[in-house]
Structure 1
Amino acid sequence: MTAAREERLRLDAASVDNARTTLLQLLARAGVYSGDAEELIGLVEAGALAVAHASLSGDGRQAPPGSGEPYAEGWRDGSRAVTDGLAGLADRALDAAVAAEPGTDPDDRPPVGRMEVERAKVAVVPLFLSFSEESDLDPEVTEQVLASALATMGVRQRAAYPGRLTAFATDHRSHLERLYATYGPGSAIAIHGRYTLVHSPTSLAVLERLAVRPAELREEWDAAELPPAWLDGLTRAWDATD
């Protein structure tokens, strides 16, 4: 790489800090609390490092074709050192973003924060709309339901929950299509009653939690004093469309 190209590609710490500060100020003008903005930016930074690590851990570890074994072995060792370093940076960035102390038990379940609920909401709505053309999203109920689902997870798991929801929707797409066609918006089932939750995007979050942490979800559900019939109705609808 020529010196001119290297200079053109380099982004120094001061420039990165400038971009971060500018973004924080713009978000503050839009009414976003500074702590929430810092958390979101931190998650983006941690995610960028994690994506870089995943990319370099794949084909990036392979030596160029035609390399001799000594060269290839040195290439692999160097690549391993770089990817291990990136993994460490990504972990530390994630801990900083979610304010977790290094070595914290990932299953620790602190109170759910407002931004965690907002991130979950942003994740479930488009996923739900891939199964239904409409949704009944009651703001207060949505927050209560999502907070109950998130309370079953540690902070690191909450940060990765959008990806988990996406995987759940992909893995169970045909089942979910039958569920929402039979019980969701536009079906003959009334929104009121035991199947109320099927008409809400939060049903995806609840179903995912029922699949992996049913006891914890029911515990948090009861603590939030949410209607037991909603949970039972969603479970019955899921089983009936299996």
Structure 2
Amino acid sequence: MSTAGEGRQQLDETSVLNAKRTLLQLLARAGVWSGDAEELIGFVEAGALALAYEEIGAAGRSAPGGKGEPYASGWLDGARAVTDELGAISERALRHAVAADPSLASPDERPPVGRTELERTNVAVTPLYLSFTEVSDLDPEVTEQVLRAVLRTMSSRQRAGYAGRLTAFTSDHRARLERLYAEYGPGSPIAIHGRYSLIHSPTSVAVMERLATAPADLHEEWDAAELPPAWLDGLTTAWEASG
């Protein structure tokens, strides 16, 4: 006779580590540096724990009915203890993922921008940009320099969640961004104006998010990177005019 537990297939620690090592080897064969691969896997692991924490927390807010008050109270206390512990594990996993050496670095500091941080941000901004406009032949080839300046305004922890922040920003300001790209972006009457060149780049989404969120820090990092002041002035003008 089978039991309820036998119906569930759970991975043991050895099998999980085997899958992780296999993925690292496959990524290495594809040319991904092991440090970058470890960082990305760390974010996936931390994200899975965070999502589980949210799901269990939502499910544990109510106890099964018809069991009486003592049972319900005990149920809620137990659920709270489990979710609190899972939340702590999720937090530790995030801290480990955003710091190469968790004992030496804090996720709240602003360390140098890493290669995978640049790539994650580029992957995030491109589809968001294309939801407003089309690929432009005039896109200046400055993606890395611009995104590096953007990311230097944030801590490691903020960089870890930047894709979600960008998605929320574009959702909250969709109508405004549609007006901006229609008036100043590819296909607009002023498409060749140098002052608005950066609007032809997907990085413009990230720059405008920073203009709306941390303008002083952005200007400081922009100057430090010696990027053209006219590009930032043009984006500022377009953002304000589209409001």
Superposition TM-score tier, normalisation by shorter sequence: over 0.9
- Matched position secondary structure for 2:194: coil
How many pairs does the alignment contain? Answer: 240
Residues 1:66 and 1:12: Cα distance change in structure 2 (over 3 Å): same
Partner of 2:6: 4
Which residues in structure 2 correspond to 1:116-155 (within 5 Å)?
116-135=117-136, 140-155=141-156
Q: What is the CA–CA distance in structure 1 between the aligned matches of 2:140 and 2:65, rounded to whole Å?
A: 56
TM-score by length of 2: 0.93
Residues 1:43 and 1:214: Cα distance change in structure 2 (over 3 Å): same
Which residues in structure 2 correspond to 1:99-110 (within 5 Å)?
99=99, 101=102, 106-110=107-111
Q: Tell me how far 1:138 sits from its aligned partner.
A: 5.4
Partner of 1:82: 82
Q: Tell me how far 1:107 sits from its aligned partner.
A: 3.8
1:239 partnered with 2:240: yes
Q: Tell me how far 1:104 sits from its aligned partner.
A: 6.2
Amino acid at match of 2:126: V
Residues 1:68 and 1:102: Cα distance change in structure 2 (over 3 Å): farther
TM-score by length of 1: 0.94
Partner of 1:51: 51
Partner of 2:23: 23
Contact 1:137 1:201 in 2 (8 A): no
Contact 2:125 2:166 in 1 (8 A): yes
Q: What is the CA–CA distance in structure 2 between the aligned matches of 1:56 and 1:235, rounded to whole Å?
A: 43
Which runs of no fewer than 5 residues in structure 1 stay unpaired?
none
Higher mean displacement: 102-111 or 183-192: 102-111
Contact 2:140 2:201 in 1 (8 A): no
Contact 2:57 2:83 in 1 (8 A): yes
Residues 1:107 and 1:136: Cα distance change in structure 2 (over 3 Å): farther
Residues 1:191 and 1:22: Cα distance change in structure 2 (over 3 Å): farther
Q: State, as a whole percentage, how many aligned pairs show the same letter.
A: 68
Structure 1, residues 19-53: CA drift from partner, whole Å, max 9, x if none?
10010000000000000000000000000000000
Q: What is the CA–CA distance in structure 2 between the aligned matches of 1:120 and 1:19, rounded to whole Å?
A: 26
Q: What is the CA–CA distance in structure 1 between the aligned matches of 2:32 and 2:128, rounded to whole Å?
A: 25
Residues 1:69 and 1:47: Cα distance change in structure 2 (over 3 Å): same
Q: Tell me how far 1:136 sits from its aligned partner.
A: 5.1
Partner of 1:62: 62
Which residues in structure 2 correspond to 1:148-227 (within 5 Å)?
148-227=149-228
Contact 2:139 2:200 in 1 (8 A): no
Q: What is the CA–CA distance in structure 1 between the aligned matches of 2:125 and 2:87, rounded to whole Å?
A: 28
Q: What is the CA–CA distance in structure 1 between the aligned matches of 2:67 and 2:133, rounded to whole Å?
A: 53
Which runs of no fewer than 5 residues in structure 2 stay unpaired?
none
Partner of 2:42: 42
Residues 1:83 and 1:191: Cα distance change in structure 2 (over 3 Å): farther
Residues 1:135 and 1:51: Cα distance change in structure 2 (over 3 Å): farther
